Amino acid sequence: MKTKFFSFVLILTAIAGYCQQDSQFTQYMYNTININPAYAGSRGALSIFGLYRTQWVGLDGAPQTSSFSINTPINNSNLGVGLSLVNDKIGPTNQNDISADISYTVRTSADFKLSFGIKGTANIFNLDINKLNPADQGDPQFQDLQNKFSPNVGAGVYWHSDKAYIGLSVPNFIETNRYDDNDVAIYKDKINYYLMGGYVLNLDKYQYYKFKPAILAKMVEGAPLQVDISANFMFIDRFVVGAAYRWSASLSAMAGFQITDGLYVGYGYDRETTKLNNYNSGSHEIFLRYEFFKNHGKMTTPRFF
């Protein structure tokens, strides 16, 4: 039997079915457009974002994720648009998601706006069987999957002001079988539901110090509810430090610095709280965001998300 192949299948099934399916981000609050298309254009600026995450360092075949996105409001309208690319590498698999987002925003009060968004995604999936070293390289049951294309659609809503937000989204409505053996799906993308929220609290009358608690809940059929709870502090609109807890999974530390009015850099480190901690040295995540503003080159009200 193809021992290494089925070992991989078990590992991949565990990762996909129990821990995660969509790309996982510790600093999701800065990368919201990947999970909610209604976020497109909500910052009121042309926002360019890049992130790299290496998960479970030291564990062979562990996930590595690269993400790039750009989103902006459309001049003199209620529309926002976005484009994003996510590359996921897990063992012998390599997956690319190319997404286009469009949002429409209506004002619900003097402070709050409600945005509706839709997402269209092109998924390109690759599986290199040779990296598994099967006993019989020529077995027709175990052939590479090269550039397997599948489309998807998603939607979301995002209610927000300068100090608070709540979002509900489903990035992908279509369930896709990634690998079929005799018509049995070994790896299947399921529908992921996201509910997120956060609030910014001023800690002094001059607004030099701010505190933002946030939560992200992720629901997938056949897997436990995943909940991320985070708390970040911002000092003089420049420095950010915080911590996060992924329920029954990991603890995280986060830091960020607003280098210029447009350029922000952030870093996050995760440490597992499960037995998996014995087999890796943690996960690292770093990102850069650059924004172009209309109002004299900077945002009139600094945003924490």
pLDDT along the chain (305 residues), means of 10: 43 44 85 95 94 93 94 94 95 93 97 97 87 61 74 97 95 78 59 94 90 94 88 94 94 96 95 91 96 65 65
Handedness of CA 2, 126, 52, 154 (dihedral sign): negative
Per residue in 216-233, pLDDT tens? 999 987 788 899 999 999
CA 165 → CA 133, 157, 225, 239, distances in Å? 48, 11, 21, 21
| Residue 273 near residue 300, CB atoms below 8 Å | no
| Residue 293 near residue 20, CB atoms below 8 Å | no
Per residue in 19-44, pLDDT tens? 446 788 999 889 899 999 999 999 99
| Residue 220 near residue 191, CB atoms below 8 Å | yes
Instruction: Say which CATH superfamily domain 28-131+146-304 falls into.
Output: monomeric porin ompg (2.40.160.40)
For the chain, domain boundaries: 28-131+146-304
Whole-prediction pTM value?
Answer: 0.85
Per residue in 175-202, pLDDT tens? 877 655 555 555 567 889 999 999 999 9
For residue 135, the model assigns a pLDDT of 57
